[in-house]
């Protein structure tokens, strides 16, 4: 089983739709969780952290379920500019704080 797994998509949704991505992780020692965004042929950028209590940033909501070992990202009222690949990232406790990236979920928002 891969360390971090995501549905690769692609997800094609109309503008204004609500879309959700899930990500599962295999190592229960995982400590920290994040979502990065990567535009086509560009570098990844940190989108948001994921806290145990869940957190919201505008139209984006991130949730963590430690018992089931998955995190989610919900995008409400999607915009054309949300089209990108969303990368799930996990950090394991262990001193090196190495980031483990999922393969990403591709989202295309259509007019």
Partner 1 sequence: DGGITQSPKYLFRKEGQNVTLSCEQNLNHDAMYWYRQDPGQGLRLIYYSQIVNDFQKGDIAEGYSVSREKKESFPLTVTSAQKNPTAFYLCASSIGDRAYEQYFGPGTRLTVT
Q: Is 51 in the site for partner 1 (CB under 8 A)?
A: no
Pick the closest to residue 64 from 110, 23, 101 (CA basis). Answer: 23
Give CA–CA dist 69/28, Å, rounded.
7
Q: Is 98 in the site for partner 1 (CB under 8 A)?
A: yes
Q: What is the largest CA-CA distance in the chain?
A: 46
Please list the residues that pair with 91 across neighbouring strands: 32, 99
Q: Is 1 in the site for partner 1 (CB under 8 A)?
A: no
Helical H segments across the chain, by residue range: none
CB of 18 to partner 1, least distance (A): 25
Q: Is 60 in the site for partner 1 (CB under 8 A)?
A: no
Q: Is 103 in the site for partner 1 (CB under 8 A)?
A: yes
* Residue numbers at the binding site for partner 1 (CB under 8 A): 4, 8, 32, 34, 42-46, 49, 87, 89, 91, 96-104
């Amino acid at each position: 089983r891969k360390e971090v797994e995501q549905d690769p998509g692609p997800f094609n949704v109309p503008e204004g739709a609500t879309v959700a991505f899930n990500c599962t992780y295999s190592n229960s020692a995982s400590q920290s969780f994040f979502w990065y965004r990567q535009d086509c042929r560009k570098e990844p950028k940190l989108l948001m952290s994921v806290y145990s209590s869940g957190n919201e940033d505008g139209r984006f909501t991130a949730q963590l379920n430690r018992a089931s070992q998955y995190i989610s990202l919900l995008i409400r009222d999607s915009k054309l500019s949300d089209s990108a690949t969303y990368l799930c990232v996990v950090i394991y406790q262990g001193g090196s704080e190495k980031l483990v990236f999922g393969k990403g979920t591709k989202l295309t928002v259509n007019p």
